[in-house]
Amino acid sequence: MIHPEGMTIDRPEGSGDYVFVFFRSRMELRIQALTLLAEPNTFIIYNRTSPYSYKDAEAPLVHDWFHFELEAADEFFGRLKLPLDTLMKARDPLYISRKVNELHWENLQNGTFRHEIIDSIIRCLFMKLSDIRHHVESRQQISKYYDDFLNLRNEVLSSPSTWYSVEDLAERMNMSKSYFQQIYKQFFGLPVVNDIIRNRLGYASYLLKNTTHSISQIAATCGYENDVHFMRQFKRFAGQTPSEYRGRPQSEPKSGYPGTL
């Protein structure tokens, strides 16, 4: 939501439900009796009865938000070690915006499992935020690199047709190849080469189901110069050749592909 002239939200008795707010512009917050400044790309989860207010510290006011209820919410947040009424840094702001947008569109649907899907999206968002917060921030020695690594990864995975060598990526981070690979795996859970290949083949699976491009065209679009190499890797990835996969009955959603961040 964008408010060109700014606005003020003031709930002296809380909202009666939980509220997630992702601040995308600078805000002035009041939580309980504490006043503080929220920088862009920070978020907070307000408890149901917590008094709070926030207003623009710059125009326009830009924020993503949703009200929600979760069964056993206190236990859930306790397990995730996500504190309520606490301002936290968003390490992956694009992920948050995508999830909020996903919630918005799912809320407009009238499917049989609408409520279960919404519940799953919300829980997925908070589990991801917890994972990033504790996996990254607990590693003080390398946490300073996370934002740069995340930006680099998003660039690489958004350009599956471009060839990136590990040496080039390490050089961009001003690191040795071995140290770069070590940190990358600690952040994202798999080696950089495997991450790139998985993303390319995930995109290939999307193109096979949603376009009429030839296998050679798809191979080239996904960064492969050799069709045979592409087909071998794809079969290891999907358990089928590209032609077999294309002919399989459609069961995956068309809105994304495996490997999408």
DSSP string, 125-180: HHHHHHHHHHHHHT-HHHHTTHHHHHHHHHHHHT-TTS---HHHHHHHTT--HHHH
Tell me what percent of the chain is helix, strand and coil, each rounded to the nearest 5: 50, 15, 35
- Residue 57's nearest CA partner among 40, 74, 32 is 40
| Model confidence at 252: pLDDT above 70 | no
Q: Which of 93-97, 176-180, 202-206 has the lowest mean pLDDT?
A: 93-97
Instruction: State how far the alpha carbon of 97 is from the alpha carbons of 93, 125, 178, in Å.
Output: 6, 10, 33
How does residue 138 score in pLDDT terms, banded at 50, 70 and 90? low
| Model confidence at 257: pLDDT above 60 | no
Radius of gyration of the CA atoms of the chain, in A: 22
60 preceded by a cis bond (ω within 30 of 0): yes
Q: What is the mean pLDDT of the chain?
A: 87
Can you give the pLDDT at residue 141? 67
Strand partners, 56: 27
Tell me the mean pLDDT in the region 57-73. 92
Q: How many whole angstroms separate alpha carbon 7 and alpha carbon 65? A: 14
- What are the φ/ψ torsions at residue 80 (nearest 5 degrees)? -80, -10
How does residue 137 score in pLDDT terms, banded at 50, 70 and 90? low
- Residue 209's nearest CA partner among 232, 234, 236 is 234
The torsion defined by the Cα of 115, 116, 121 and 125, in degrees rounded to 10, comes to 110
The answer to pTM > 0.75 is no
255 and 204 Cβ atoms separated by less than 8 Å: no
User: What are 224's two structure tokens?
Assistant: 């492969």
Q: Identify the residue whose tokens are 């890797």.
A: 233
| Comparison of pLDDT for 142 and 186, the residue scoring more | 186
Tell me the mean pLDDT in the region 4-26. 92
| Model confidence at 258: pLDDT above 50 | no
How does residue 254 score in pLDDT terms, banded at 50, 70 and 90? very low
| Model confidence at 168: pLDDT above 60 | yes
| Comparison of pLDDT for 229 and 140, the residue scoring more | 229
Q: How many whole angstroms separate alpha carbon 261 and alpha carbon 250? A: 22
Q: How many whole angstroms separate alpha carbon 149 and alpha carbon 53? A: 34
Can you give the pLDDT at residue 251? 44
Tell me the mean pLDDT in the region 51-71. 92
| Comparison of pLDDT for 225 and 259, the residue scoring more | 225
